[in-house]
Amino acid sequence: LTFFLLELLASFSETLASGVLKDRGIRILLNRVTQIAEKIVDTSKKNFHTEQRVLDFLVKLYRALGYRERSNGSMLRIAVSLEAQAEETNHNFLKSTFLESALKIYSELGRPKKIDELKTKIQQCIQNAMEKGEFKKIEKQFSQRLRKFFVFS
């Protein structure tokens, strides 16, 4: 329910007319919602999906409120979370996927050192995945799913 309300508020905040956002009561309410969301993030460590989802909500809400620095800070926290999530997995292909998502965020934020660092890590992950045959495993699983799909269609 909490996530539903946060998603609803995020979509609502993106479509708010600027005049409505100037209303002091609405701004106080939305600022309080951001505080609650920040507490959810702080308590959701190691639950990467929850952390990233709530941070994404905060990015949207901070943008709607005109808080560019806070929005960028939340984006940075998503990237850091994605990197931590990549470190938690033993699958190089999956690790490269998380790192690519983080790379995209660092690109948007203009962080050239992190971009170079992640490009190197991604290349290493892909090389490791190829050496360990991860792509063949994925291809086999994917082709099996496709066969099942077409059999049932």
> Residue 128 and residue 90: Cα distance in Å, rounded?
11
> What's the DSSP call for residue 45?
T
Q: pLDDT value at position 28?
A: 83
Cβ atoms of residues 55 and 77 within 8 Å? yes
| String of DSSP letters for 104-138 | HHHHHHT-HHHHHHHHHHHHHHHHHHHHTTHHHHH
The answer to whether the pTM exceeds 0.75 is: yes
Q: pLDDT value at position 5?
A: 63
Residues ≥6 apart with Cβ < 8 Å to 51: 41, 44, 45, 77, 81
Taking the chain (153 residues) in consecutive chunks of 10 residues, what is each chunk's mean pLDDT? Answer: 60 57 76 85 83 90 89 97 95 93 97 96 92 77 62 52
